[in-house]
Structure 1
Amino acid sequence: MKKLIVIALLVLMSGVSHAASSVLVWPIFQVIEADQHGSALWLENRGGQPVRLQIRILAWQQQDFRDRYADQREVVASPPFATIPPQQRQLVRLIRTGAPPQEGEQAYRIILDEIPDANVPVAKNSAGLRLQMRYVLPLFLDGQGVWTQTRNDVRRDPTTVSQPQLHWQWVTQQGKTVLRIRNTGKVHARLSQVFWGREPDASKATFTLAKGFLGYVLAGQSMQFPLPPGKSVPIEGTLYARLTDNGPAVALSP
């Protein structure tokens, strides 16, 4: 089953949020492998008014423990603009313009921005504020021999899946404690359900840093995540995290 996310486009009027329209987007995890030239992104307008969107793709790196984005030419969205009528779908093709990465993967962000309709009048008693939709999706270009997702057209040995290599440490900066995670592998890590315990069972955790999604650590990069206020650094147990939504929790090495 395709994984879907509903994106609500809201208009703020008189302190009350009203759903102006909603857009369904799938698949939300985009990958273009070395033998593929592109990928498909579907947008569906579930609302009652046309929705106009701009689709951009930015290079994604992590520097100084922050996400950094930049213009690039390695992959493009076609079309870069789309007006989707009510109850209709729009196919956006994500096209690799050059050769695949020589090794590992390259990371990008797909940015979907709503373009407001200047012809739609602001309702009376409105503060005149409009909340524009912006949604950000990950996109990865895989090099030869790299794979992170299953494909219906390719038979694969699950033991050969590309994995991140993660190492962690506690770091104190300006009186604040953060968890620093370094990824020395060739592919990204998507961290969720991060906890300490004696076994990989979140229900038996001795300390939980994140019950849901925590963040990405790109290949060859490091990121930091703050210790929640009022929490002390766990002194025992193993650090576990899920690297995929449906996968088991795995142990991370110090």
Structure 2
Amino acid sequence: MTRRLRYSLITAFWLVCGMAAASGLQVSPITLTLPPTQNADGLWLSNTGDNVVSAQIRVYRWTQEGFEDKLTPSRGLLVSPPMLQLPAEGRQLIRAIRAGAPPNGAGAVQEAYRIIIDELPVDTQGKKGLQFVLRYSVPIFVQPAGEPPIAPQLRWAVRDEAGTAFLEVANSGGSHAQLADLSFTDTAGRRTAVHAGLLGYVLPGAKMRWALKPAAATFTAGGSWEAMINGNTAQQNIQTADSPR
């Protein structure tokens, strides 16, 4: 069974049960990369609140198809422990362990996983109200054996669908691309801020698309994008088209 992934790192759920309470669950770091010579790494979960926090940790293989993120339960990466309780001010190391060999062979590319950490609601003994619980979605990337994978190779295009602009980005490289802080500059030098913060990821061999707030007419032919790609500022040329390919 596959699951669609939304690109907020933290998803909050309001549950009817108890007084409104803010969780103290924290996760660090927010992403991991396993080189081929390393079969495990760790995440730290900490509880900065005043109450015991219970959490469930699961692993999903992360792929992209039809402009969608898909999560499939996987044993390619294991986590230990899969369930835990953290006392107030407590910390726990979560180990992420590669179960098999890294990707290998001609054309091998980076594999992507997501570790989903769900805070579990506590028993409030019938008290009415709201409880705030968290979900963390942590990207884990497994590097292939041999030579380092080819860096992201991105092709950008803007599609005009009834006046709404859609940005499509295809990645023919061997590594993921994390896109953030997008702006567009037309041939006259006019700069438009398009998206602040994280837009999303494009995995190796995948193509993703996002609806943009500025009107499609903003993105004229010959313009260029500026974006943070894997934490580095880069410029990209674009194509324009009337409809998606």
TM-score class, shorter-chain normalisation, is 0.7 to 0.9
Q: Residue 165 of structure 2 contacts residue 215 of structure 2 at CA under 8 Å; is this kept in 1?
A: no
How many Å apart are 1:146 and its aligned residue? 5.8
Q: Residue 32 of structure 2 contacts residue 141 of structure 2 at CA under 8 Å; is this kept in 1?
A: yes
Q: Residue 7 of structure 1 contacts residue 23 of structure 1 at CA under 8 Å; is this kept in 2?
A: no
How many Å apart are 1:223 and its aligned residue? 0.4
Query: Secondary structure at 1:227's aligned position in 2?
Result: strand
- Seen in structure 2, the aligned counterparts of structure 1 residues 47 and 11 have a Cα distance that, compared at 3 Å, is farther
Query: Secondary structure at 1:143's aligned position in 2?
Result: coil
Q: Could you list the runs of 5+ residues in structure 2 that have no partner in the other structure?
A: 1-8, 240-245
User: 1:55 matched to which residue of 2?
Assistant: 57
Query: Secondary structure at 1:232's aligned position in 2?
Result: helix
How many Å apart are 1:121 and its aligned residue? 2.4
Aligned equivalents of 1:106 and 1:8: distance in 2?
24
**Mapped pair 1:143 → 2:144:** yes
Aligned equivalents of 1:107 and 1:7: distance in 2?
18
Cα deviations by residue, 1:46-84 (Å, 9 ceiling, x for unpaired): 001110100011011111101111011110110001111
Aligned equivalents of 1:42 and 1:146: distance in 2?
30
How many Å apart are 1:162 and its aligned residue? 4.8
TM-score (norm 2): 0.81
How many Å apart are 1:17 and its aligned residue? 4.7
Aligned equivalents of 2:101 and 2:58: distance in 1?
20
Aligned equivalents of 1:9 and 1:169: distance in 2?
33
Aligned equivalents of 2:92 and 2:219: distance in 1?
48
Q: Residue 7 of structure 1 contacts residue 24 of structure 1 at CA under 8 Å; is this kept in 2?
A: no
Aligned equivalents of 1:76 and 1:18: distance in 2?
31
- Seen in structure 2, the aligned counterparts of structure 1 residues 105 and 146 have a Cα distance that, compared at 3 Å, is farther
Q: Residue 58 of structure 1 contacts residue 69 of structure 1 at CA under 8 Å; is this kept in 2?
A: yes
Query: How many residues get paired?
Result: 225
User: 2:177 matched to which residue of 1?
Assistant: 189
User: 2:230 matched to which residue of 1?
Assistant: 244
Q: Residue 9 of structure 1 contacts residue 22 of structure 1 at CA under 8 Å; is this kept in 2?
A: no
Aligned equivalents of 1:189 and 1:121: distance in 2?
46
User: 1:88 matched to which residue of 2?
Assistant: 90
TM-score (norm 1): 0.78
User: 2:44 matched to which residue of 1?
Assistant: 42
- Seen in structure 2, the aligned counterparts of structure 1 residues 27 and 162 have a Cα distance that, compared at 3 Å, is farther
Aligned equivalents of 2:193 and 2:146: distance in 1?
35
**Mapped pair 1:167 → 2:155:** yes
Q: Which has the higher contact order (CA 8 A, sep 6+)?
A: 2
The aligned runs of 1:102-181 (5 Å cut-off) are 102=104, 103-118=108-123, 120-123=124-127, 126-127=128-129, 129-145=130-146, 162-173=150-161, 176-181=164-169
- RMSD over aligned CA atoms reads 2.8
